[in-house]
Structure 1
Amino acid sequence: MEPINQFLKNSKKLQENNERLYESLIKHPRIIELIENSEHEITRSMIKNDLLQLKRYAEQSLACEKCGSLSGCVNHPQGYVPSIDVRDGRIHVIYSPCPTKIKEDRFREKEKMIESYHVPKDVKDATFDTVFLDGDSNRQEIIKKAISASKKIIDGEKTKGLYIHGSFGIGKSYMLGCIANELKEQSVSSIIAYVPEIIRDLKSGFKDGTTDIKFKTLKTAQVLMLDDLGAEDVTPWVRDEVITSLLHYRMVEGLPTFISSNYSMEELEYRYSRTKENGVEETKARRMTERLRSLCEEVQLEGRNYRNG
C-alpha cells in the first residue's frame, strides 16, 4: 500500500500539473476561439473536468494543416479531425473524416469502379488526355465516338458500345482503358477482361466450382470491355457457351459492351465458324456475330504499331 505521505505528494504533483495544463489551455488560441464562439457557456470547472479532451483537441490538426498527406497525419485516429460538442455540462471531442481522408476515400472508391482481369497497368490507367494523336491515325475520330458513347452511358441513355478492330499494337486496348476511366470519373463501374486469360479462368473454375460465379460477374457488369476477342483458342464451348451466351445476355438486358479485336466482325465470324472439334459451323458463328452487331458499332482503328515502334 502506498504511504500516506507519498500519496499526498503525488496528488499535489498531479494537481500542480493539471493547473499548469489549465493555464496553458486557456491561453491557447484554439481554446480561446472555442470559448468565445461556443453556443454553450464553457466554465472553469468544465475545462478542469475535461482537460485531456481539450488538450487533445488543441494539439491535433483541424484542416490537414499539419499533415500534408494521410500517411503523414499527426492526428489520432489518423485521417480524422476533432471538433467539440458541449452537452450536459461536459466537453466531448467528436471525430470526423478530414478533407484529405475524404479525398483519398473518394479516389479509392473510384478506383474500385474499374475491375480488371489480366489487363496491363498502362491500359487500366489510360485516359483520353494521354492518347497520342498523329496524322497517320484516325484515333481522334474513334475518341469522339468513344466519348459520345461514354456520355450517353453516364446520362443513362441507351447506346451501342464500340467494336474496335485493327492491326497489332495500334492502341485498341488502350482505347478501352480510356473509356473505362472516363466512366470511372462519373462513378460508372466497368470490367475490362483480356479474353484469352478470362477463358482460362473460366476453364480452371471447373475444378473449384467458381466458373458460374466468374461468368455471372462478366455478364452482369454495368459496362463490360472484352479485350482482344478472337485471340483465344476457338472451341465450340468458347463460342457457344461463353462468348455467344455472354453477348446474348448483355443484348437482352441492354448492357453497354465494348470490344477490341485484331479481326473485323466478318473475319471474326469466319474464325468462329471453324473448330477442330466440329469442323465448319457457319450458323453458330453467325449467331454470335449477330449479337455482336446488335451490341456494338464496328469501327476500325488505323495507325502504326506503337508497341514495337
Structure 2
Amino acid sequence: MAQLERLSAYLQRHFADHNWGRQYQQTIDRVLKNGDVQRFLTANAAELTEATVDAGAAKLFEYVKLREELDAGATPPIPGYEPQLVMSNHQIDIAYQPSADKVAADAQRAKASLVTVMNMPKDIRGADLLAYDQQDRTEALAAATMFVNAVAKPDRGHVQGLYLTGAFGVGKTYLLGAIANGLADFGVGTTLLHFPTFAVNMKGSIATNTVTQEIDRVKRAPVLMLDDIGAESWSAWLRDDVLGVILQYRMQEDLPTCFSSNKTMDELENFFAGREQGNSETVKAQRIMQRIRFLSREIAVGGRNRRPQ
C-alpha cells in the first residue's frame, strides 16, 4: 500500500508540474480514483517506478477516458474487445482482450458446432435436460443424465446408448437433442439425424454415386443419434447395406449410439423382417436388432402428446 500511495503522490506531482487548469485537475482525480487504475497499480507496484509511471501517465489518462466513453455507450474501437491496462516490456500500456459477452458468444458458437443436426426440428438446438418435463418421463430423464455423464468421462469404456420408445409427440426427439447439448457442454460432438429423411436422401445418393461417402460421414460420428427409426419405408437395401454397415462400424469402434422410435424393439424387429409387407426376413432382421440391442437399451417415454394439435 505504501508503494501505491507513493506512486499516486508522484502522479499528482507529475500532472501538477504541467500547470493544467481546474478541469484537468478533476480529470487527474478521476484517473487516480478509478478502480481499474488502482487495481493495476496495486498488482504491479513491485515493477512500477517513478520513471515508468512518468512514461505511462498518458496511457492511464487514455485508458480512463476510453472506459468512460464505453460505459456511456460508445462503440468499442475493436468490436467484441475491451481495453485493459497491462505491463508490456516494463511499460504501462493498453491491450484489448475479448469482452465477457464475446467470450460467452464464442463459447456458445463452439458448443453449437459440436452438434450436427440433419433434418431435425429447430427446437432441438435449444433443448435442455434441465427444462425437460419429468411427468411420466422420470426414468427417461434419469437414463439420459446417466448417459451424458458416462460418455463425458475421459476413460470411459463401453457406454450403452438409449433406445427411446413411445407414442408420437411425447418428447423423444427433444430428449435426444437435450442429450446432445449436454454432451456439447463436455466438448463431445454429436450427430442427430432424422432417419426417414436420411433414408430418402441415401436412395437419392445412388444416382450421384455418393452412398459410401454419406455412410462414412454418419458412421464415424463421436456420438450418433438416429431419430424416428422404423418410420421409413421398408427397404432390404437400406436395412442391410446402409443401416447395417453403420451399426456394424459403431459396434466395432465402440461408439455411443442412441435411437428414438414409435416402435418398441420387438415391433422394430418385425418391421425390419418386412412382415408388414408380407415378407419374413427373420434372420436379417435379427442381425440388425442384435446390433441395436448391443448399442442401446430400451427406455419407454410416457406422457401426453406435447406437440401442437
TM-score (norm 1): 0.76
Residue number in structure 1 paired with 2:223: 223
Residue number in structure 1 paired with 2:12: none
Cα distance in 1 between the residues matched to 2:196 and 2:67: 51
Greater displacement, 298-307 / 262-271: 298-307
Residue number in structure 2 paired with 1:238: 238
Q: CA distance change for structure 1 residues 293 and 43 in 2, over 3 Å: closer, same or farther?
A: closer
Check if 1:129 corresponds to 2:130: yes
Shift of 1:206: 4.2
Deviations 1:132-169 (A, max 9, x none): 233xx3x0111112211221111243321111112211
Residue number in structure 1 paired with 2:100: 99
Q: CA distance change for structure 1 residues 213 and 57 in 2, over 3 Å: closer, same or farther?
A: farther
Count of residues paired in the alignment: 280
Residue number in structure 2 paired with 1:66: 71
Residue number in structure 1 paired with 2:76: 75
Shift of 1:79: 1.6
Shift of 1:250: 0.8
Cα distance in 1 between the residues matched to 2:251 and 2:205: 25
SS at 1:93 equivalent: strand
Identity %, equivalent residues: 31
What are the within-5 Å matches in structure 2 for residues 109-258 of structure 1? 109-134=110-135, 137=136, 139-156=137-154, 157=156, 158-208=158-208, 210-258=210-258
Contact 1:273 1:281 in 2 (8 A): yes
Which letter maps to 1:197? T
Shift of 1:92: 4.1
SS at 2:94 equivalent: strand
SS at 1:60 equivalent: helix
Shift of 1:291: 0.3
Contact 2:37 2:60 in 1 (8 A): no
Greater displacement, 99-108 / 208-217: 208-217
Gaps of 5+ in 2: 1-18
Cα distance in 2 between the residues matched to 1:44 and 1:180: 52
CA RMSD of superposed structures (Å): 3.5
Contact 2:223 2:256 in 1 (8 A): yes
Residue number in structure 2 paired with 1:286: 286
Q: CA distance change for structure 1 residues 82 and 271 in 2, over 3 Å: closer, same or farther?
A: same
Shift of 1:274: 2.0
Deviations 1:198-239 (A, max 9, x none): 223333444555543432222111111110001112212211
SS at 2:162 equivalent: strand
Residue number in structure 1 paired with 2:271: 271
Shift of 1:189: 1.7
